Amino acid sequence: MTLLGAADDPSCYSRLVNDWVCLDYVGDRQQEIVDATIQHVGITVVSVALGLAIAFPLALLARRLPRLESAILAVTTGIYTVPSLALFPLLVPFTGLTATTVVIGLALYALTILVRSLLEGLRSVPDDVRESATGLGYGRGQLLLRVELPLALPVVMAGLRVATVSTVALTTVGSLVAYGGLGNLIKDGVLTNFRAELFTASLLCVVLAFALDALLVLVQRMLTPWTRGARA
Amino acid sequence: MTVFGDMWRYLSDGANWSGSDGIAALLGQQLLLTLTALLMAMVIGLPVALWLGHLGRGGFLAINISNVGRAIPTFALLALLVVAPWPGTDELGPYGRAGLATLLALTLFALPPIITNSYVAMREVAPDVREAARGMGMTGWQRFWRVELPLGLPLVVSGLRLALVQVWATATIAALVAGPGLGQIITDGFFRSNYGKGIAGALVVAAVALVLELLAALAQRAVDPSRRGTPTGGRADALSVAPATVDPTAETVG
């Protein structure tokens, strides 16, 4: 019966009611929510991709030169230790208040996880497999692309999942420089005591993290058909 | 790069370090928050996780709690706690505005790494060692206390180390909801377009984070004599993805 009088009644996200869960809010501010989600996904995907693009050569380098390995691991762990709210400001003098600041910061965090999982994945390839491939006449590049990387994939994908999920969560902190995707809505929700906005954005963050995680699991299953056959 | 000049001026001015909202006071407040939350998480998480690991039960939960914890943004949880009627932004003694909300969020975020690592630490004790202890007639309590715990200690401590660093980082984020801690200097600098101040705060936070990590690494080394002098790698530590934090059962689901 209140629905009929909706024009006069305050909606569930009005100042007076301020409900946590409010579908009216989702309907009325749809565009805002979609834009924030797109920005969130965009920042996450670009950051993880950039992290992977840097982690790959670093991991190969670390494997080739064991002396460098501990240095690379120490530096990346050091970066990981720095809180995100401190890392973004430290990048601002170089990149300004832009999405680039957030992307570089998040890529650095993803890098730490990815370098480690790449190294561990490559290390998990059995030596005799490597030897047989060499015996079959595989060169270094072919050995890496056709034998080592496919076998390392399960461990690498595990790292990629961890990196993606934590990047989705960390993107919210980007609201410090106004590029935080859903984090911008969370920040606004806190400042204006807007419960529906705050709750919807928080929930979407978690849903997004699990959705991307599930997507990566699917990708992994498609890329490694042999693991399915072995289990069945 | 005049920002760096501003930053240096801010850091070298003694007046900015003293006072109730100076760097020193906020640093102390954030350290207090961090240690309290870590202690609370240890009191709650360690007994449960270690005992479950000893019994070998609840593994799915103990391992997946880390994945869930990772997916929940710290900022979102803090924001929800602060806007909710309880705990809200109430002051809590030395912990400052929104102190209770911050402590709760910090404790929740410290729990997953502590629980997962402690559980895995207990499970990774070699089965033949456990068998031998049983064969010698040790009771369950003796096996836990004299065999499993000493052997699993390095991994337990590595979980505590990860939690410590994570809690420090999370405590910084409390400032985004006008909470306590050093993050205030960062957010205040940014909201007032005083970037020199913001970057100065960030530098202090980052420096302390690195010091905490180093101290924790030293503590970890102290409880694991076998690790001394061996090169890195080979052994699972706090940040490694496999095998300690990869759950083989998680991949067969779905």
* Contact residues, chain A, for B199 at CB < 8 Å: 89-90, 92-93
Phi, psi of B123 (to 5 degrees): -70, -25
CA distance B239 to B193: 36
Choose among A84, A183, A217: nearest Cβ to B254.
A217
Counted residue by residue, chain B has a size of 254
Closest CA to B74 of B173, B161, B160, B163: B173
Q: Which residue has the tokens 């996880």?
A: A113
For B39-75, how does the pLDDT look when each residue is reduced to its tens digit (9 = 90+)? Answer: 999 999 999 999 999 999 888 988 888 888 889 998 9
End-to-end CA distance of chain B: 53
Q: Identify the structural domains of chain A with CATH numbers, from first to last.
A: 29-219 (1.10.3720.10)
CA distance A128 to A150: 16
* Contact residues, chain B, for A71 at CB < 8 Å: none
Residue of B nearest to A19 (CA): B84
Which of B102, B108, B239, B253 has the highest number of chain A CBs within 10 A, making it the mutation to test binding with A?
B239
Q: Identify the structural domains of chain B with CATH numbers, from first to last.
A: 35-182 (1.10.3720.10)
* Contact residues, chain A, for B10 at CB < 8 Å: none
Is residue A141 over pLDDT 80?
yes
CA distance B207 to B210: 5
What is the ipTM metric for this complex? Answer: 0.87
pLDDT score, position A221: 93
pLDDT bucket at B225, cuts 50 / 70 / 90: low
Which of A44, A81, A186, A222 has the highest number of chain B CBs within 10 A, making it the mutation to test binding with B?
A81
CA distance B59 to B57: 5
What is the enclosing helix (H) or strand (E) of B120? helix B99-123
pLDDT score, position B19: 84
As a whole number, mean pLDDT of residues A24-36 equals: 93
Is residue B245 over pLDDT 60?
no
Is residue A188 over pLDDT 50?
yes
Choose among B183, B246, B252: nearest Cβ to A158.
B246
Choose among A86, A113, A183: nearest Cβ to B186.
A86
CA distance B54 to B149: 9
Choose among B76, B177, B252: nearest Cβ to A202.
B76
Residue A7 contacts by C-beta under 8 Å, 6 or more apart in sequence?
none
Interchain proximity B172–A83, CB inside 8 Å? yes
pLDDT bucket at A206, cuts 50 / 70 / 90: very high
Residue B232 contacts by C-beta under 8 Å, 6 or more apart in sequence?
A69, A70, A73
As a whole number, mean pLDDT of residues A167-190 equals: 95
pLDDT score, position A155: 93
Question: Where is average pLDDT lowest: A29-43, B125-139, B190-204, B223-237?
Answer: B223-237
Percent helix / strand / coil, chain A, rounded to 5: 80, 0, 20
As a whole number, mean pLDDT of residues A20-46 equals: 94
Is residue B116 over pLDDT 70?
yes
* Contact residues, chain B, for A210 at CB < 8 Å: 71
Task: State the count of interchain CB pairs (< 8 A) between A and B.
Answer: 177
Interchain proximity B205–A86, CB inside 8 Å? yes
Identify the DSSP state of B50.
H
Q: What 3 state SS string does A106-155 have?
A: HHHHHHHHHHHHHHHHHHCCCHHHHHHHHHCCCCHHHHHHHHHHHHHHHH
pLDDT score, position A12: 84
Residue B243 contacts by C-beta under 8 Å, 6 or more apart in sequence?
B236
End-to-end CA distance of chain A: 56
Interchain proximity B232–A81, CB inside 8 Å? no
Interchain proximity B80–A119, CB inside 8 Å? no
In chain B, the percentage of residues whose pLDDT exceeds 90 is 57
Interchain proximity B175–A85, CB inside 8 Å? yes
pLDDT bucket at B240, cuts 50 / 70 / 90: low
* Contact residues, chain B, for A124 at CB < 8 Å: 242
Our CA-based measurement puts residue B158 at a distance from the nearest CA of chain A, in whole angstroms, of: 14
CA distance A14 to B144: 57
Choose among B79, B183, B232: nearest Cβ to A202.
B79
Our CA-based measurement puts residue A78 at a distance from the nearest CA of chain B, in whole angstroms, of: 7
Interchain proximity B70–A166, CB inside 8 Å? yes
pLDDT bucket at B1, cuts 50 / 70 / 90: low
Interchain proximity B206–A86, CB inside 8 Å? yes
For A207-228, how does the pLDDT look when each residue is reduced to its tens digit (9 = 90+)? Answer: 999 999 999 999 999 998 887 7
Mean pLDDT of chain B: 85
Interchain proximity A92–B77, CB inside 8 Å? no
Choose among A93, A120, A175: nearest Cβ to B240.
A120
3-state secondary structure of B247: coil
